[in-house]
A and B are shown apart, each in its own frame.
Chain A
Amino acid sequence: MSEPTEYVTLVSYDGFEFKIRRSAAIISGAIRRMLDPQSNFAEARTNRCTLETIPGIVLEKVCEYLYYNEKFADSKDVPDMEIPADIAMDLLIASDFLDV
């Protein structure tokens, strides 16, 4: 499985798996480097990133954001995204980690 696939899998530390379009996933600097076929790390070979620091509930929101970002990257007057207050801090940390 070394061919870059259209979809990649993101796995949270509590085991949730998210299949997400590669183009959206690599908006995150960390994920992009993880999947860089040139460096050929394990993640790049399996197209599967296990993110040991991020819980599923946050990762879900991250995925939502990645799609959201991809969709509105070039547009103005973007509708705000709903962020539940209880995971806001985690989300911030995750975003720092993932470099988004």
Chain B
Amino acid sequence: MIASRGARKIKPPRKNIQGDDVDLEPTWVTLSDSFREIHTQNASQLSYEQLYRHAYVLVLKRKGDQLYKRVIDFEHDWLSEDIRPRLHTLASSALLSFEEYDTKTVNERRVSGELLLKGATKAWDNHQTCINMLADVLMYLDRVYCREQRRTPIFEACMELFRDTVLKWLVTKGEDGMDLLDVLSTIILDQVRMERDGDTINKHFIRSCVHMMESLNESNTDGQETRLYVTRFQPRFLKASTEFYREESERLIRENDAGTYCRWASRRIREEEDRCRSTLSESTTDKIRRVVEDELIRNKIAEVIAMPNGVKFMSDNNRIEELSLVYNLNARVDSKKTELITAIQKRVAQMGDEINRAALAASHTPPAPAPGYSDGSTKSGERVVNQHTAAAMKWVEDVLQLKDKFDTIWRLSFASDQALQAALSKVFSEFINAATFPRGTEYISLFIDDNMKKGIKGKTEHEVDLVLDKAITLLRYVQDKDMFEKYYKKHLSRRLLMNKSVSNDVEKQMISRMKIELGNNFTSKLESMFKDMTVSEELSNGYRAYVDKLGDYDPARVDLSMHVLTATVWPLDHMSGALDRDPNKQDKAQGPIFPPEIERVKKGFEKFYLNRHSGRVLSWLGGMGTADIRAVFPKVPTKDGLRERKHELNVSTYAMIILLLFNDLSENEALTYEEIEARTNIPPHELTRNLQSLSLATKTRILLKEPMTRDIKPTDRFKFNEGFSGKFIRIKVGVVSAGNRVENDKERQDTDDSVRQMRAHYIEATIVRIMKQRKTCAHLQLISETISQLASHFKPEVTMIKKRIESLLDKEYLARMPEDDSMYKYIT
């Protein structure tokens, strides 16, 4: 309070209360009577002021310690004489029903348990209210005496009394005698068990009891960890739950399928959480959840996943919901979801292997007779696809389907989990790049090829987008990107040169997508292929205009359109058809001998071209071109009388050269294979193919072969088929294997070789690049750096890198450091 100011005299306080010594006894009698009233809920007659004043006076008169002691004694007596017997009777009868566990029904047990819970709760509540009032009345005692003497305030002291005299009083005698707390715990556990078994229990009483245990400490020290609930009840609860769930999970896993088990487990976890919220304490939630998770999931998940109707079954049958349960359960106990990931990976790897094997098997069965394909007929030629190619298509479709399937599962069941996505990507990439299945890259490129040629015909932009997306998805998994690039270039070049592509726009879209995915390096060559096409077209037009200006129109003149391709960009070794030759020293010297009229045109164009771009060398790739020739066949009798028949033949350049040979021959004169070869210098492989299509395919039999066998032998003789007749004016003479298809083993060998060669260059370039920057570098570091830099192209083998390092050492780009053998030095 505010002290007074001024100098006035301060009167001594009046003596009405300080008066004489107060006698303790009569005052105490009043007080203890009143306390009893309070305990029996009769406080409304009492005057607080009076009681307070009594206590106040006693404390003032230094009788605080006596008062304190008497209050505690009073409470102790009250608790042990009034409350304890009542509760203990209830406890005993509840215990009794446990001892006669077998004879009593669940219901009886529940009722007696509830009675005790109710009694304890009520006693506790009352005690709290009364002590509150008591403490209020004795406030002055608390404030002055307890603080001075460092005694526990009345309220806390009485709470401890309740704990010691009521709760910790042994109900049963003997070594393992139980105190009331034990009995209460047992009953609560029993009731929880009943609820787990599906009975309804009165949660309210349990909740209050738990609350009581939560608000009391084991000893007189404070702290979360010493609460009776934590020290006495929780351990028992967790232990009982562990046992319960261990047993139950064993049983359920035996009796049910994986899906049911998972559903059930998630329900149990939810239930336990609810129970903690509504019946027990929130603080137990985490602990009981861990127990349930341990018992139901961690110890069992592997078993569940491996069950015959586990994850494998679920993913095979698209059990989205069950998979999602498995995912959630696994995610609970393991943020990495190891078990699930392993299972899924295993399954995907299995299915991937199957797809790989199927593709290999399909491609190894003897291919359908190829000649059917070489038929120039537009009908069957388009449709009959080489079996290899079919296998490739099927492989890609299968892989995509598998991917789709697991993507769906991943999205719907696995909450688009990152770890699982990574795992799926990994396993996909593993089987696509599997060592036992080397053709993935080729197949993917073929798939794109097929779609570019016909697949996307008549599809909407959106559908096309989807196809491209799929292709890119697969591409992402491919490790040997350089391999893919090679195939893609090859297939793309065929598409471009033969005008097979349905839409240039889509081609360009595809490339820009690859650019996004794989970077500029990867697509720059593909892009320049497109540029070459455009330039060539301009060039053709330019040349035509140039020729037109040269002189009068000559009906016999040969029209020429050509593509000028940049040699480094286009996969020329694949296109020239020069399989039997060393790709490095091909062409010019050995190029085919063109007939004079063609040779003239060729020269003319070369002149024209070199005028524009001096210093360039043009090589002609006869194998890639086509020619339209107008052929006149001798008159034969028809129903309209004798008629001359004219056909426009669309043939390959080589076929044109061959046919023009026959122009100079007289009727019935024949040429042998060897003669033709000598006069044209066409590579034997190509020659054979062209002769086959000219003489064997029934619809384009312009030449007659002797003897009429399927194979072409050097001694075979050919002559012009004067009796040739065709239904159409225009006839397209196809050439065997003009389209993109899976390589045969020999081609594959070539591709592998050339890829290996290219990789060697790549690796050397990379090593030099690294060394140039670092000047010196340790062996291991150099290797790992090389691998990481090349990762976007392919996965180099360490032995290969070692070889390249050695070769660089030989070439004296690098040297070993004199002091340390494992270090390299860059030599400038």
Contacts and interface: CB of A to CB of B under 8 A. Distances in A.
B13 A39 contact: no
A47 B11 CA distance: 33
Interface in B128-164: 129, 132-133, 136-137, 139-140, 143
Interface in B1-48: 1-6, 8-14, 16-17, 43-48
Nearest to A2: B44
Given A36-B136, A39-B136, A89 B49 contact: no
Contact of B2 (A80, A85, A89): A80
Nearest to B45: A42
B10 A88 contact: yes
Contacts of A42: 44-48
Contact of A89 (B10, B43, B44, B50): B10
A80 B136 contact: no
Nearest to A81: B2
Contacts of A43: 47-49
A85 B52 contact: no
A18 interface: no
Interface string A24-56: 000001100110101111111100011111010
A60 interface: no
Interface in A40-93: 40-45, 49-53, 55, 65, 80-81, 83-93
Contacts of B139: 29-30, 33, 99
Nearest to B135: A33
Interface residues of A, number: 38
Given A40-B43, A42-B45, A93 B9 contact: no
Contacts of A7: none
B136 A33 contact: yes
A18 to B, nearest CB: 15
Contacts of A52: 49-50, 53
Contacts of A41: 43-44, 46-48, 133
Nearest to A91: B1
B56 interface: yes
Contacts of A29: 139
A41 B47 CA distance: 6
Contacts of B16: 13, 53
B49 A100 contact: no
User: Interface residue tally of chain B, by bracket?
Assistant: 20 to 34
A83 B3 contact: yes
Interface centre among A44, A65, A80, A85 (most CB of B within 10 A): A85
Given A36-B136, A89-B13, A90-B13, A100 B48 contact: no
A52 B3 CA distance: 24
Contact of A34 (B4, B5, B44, B49): B49
A25 to B, nearest CB: 13
Contacts of B6: 85
A95 interface: yes
B209 to A, nearest CB: 22
Contacts of A90: 13-14
Nearest to B11: A86
A95 B46 CA distance: 23
B47 A50 contact: yes
Nearest to B13: A89
Contact of A53 (B5, B17, B44): B17
Contacts of B137: 33
Contacts of A51: 49
B46 A30 contact: no
B396 to A, nearest CB: 78
A100 B2 CA distance: 11
A90 B48 CA distance: 21
A43 B13 CA distance: 27
Contacts of A88: 3-4, 10-11
Contacts of B133: 39, 41
Contacts of B136: 33, 36, 39
B12 A89 contact: yes
A100 B1 CA distance: 8
B4 A85 contact: yes
Nearest to A34: B48
A39 to B, nearest CB: 4
Contacts of B140: 30, 97, 99
Contacts of B1: 65, 83, 91-92, 95, 100
A91 to B, nearest CB: 6
A32 B8 CA distance: 34
Nearest to A35: B48
B463 to A, nearest CB: 73
A89 B8 CA distance: 13
A80 B5 contact: yes
Interface string B63-87: 0000000000000000000000000
Interface of B: 1-6, 8-14, 16-17, 43-50, 52-53, 56, 129, 132-133, 136-137, 139-140, 143
Please name the 9 residue pairs, one residue from A and one from B, whose CB atoms are nearest each other, closest first.
Answer: A83-B4, A85-B8, A41-B48, A33-B136, A89-B13, A34-B48, A39-B133, A88-B4, A95-B1
Given A43-B47, A85-B11, A90-B13, 11 more contacts: A30-B140, A33-B137, A36-B136, A38-B129, A38-B132, A39-B48, A39-B132, A42-B47, A49-B49, A86-B10, A92-B1
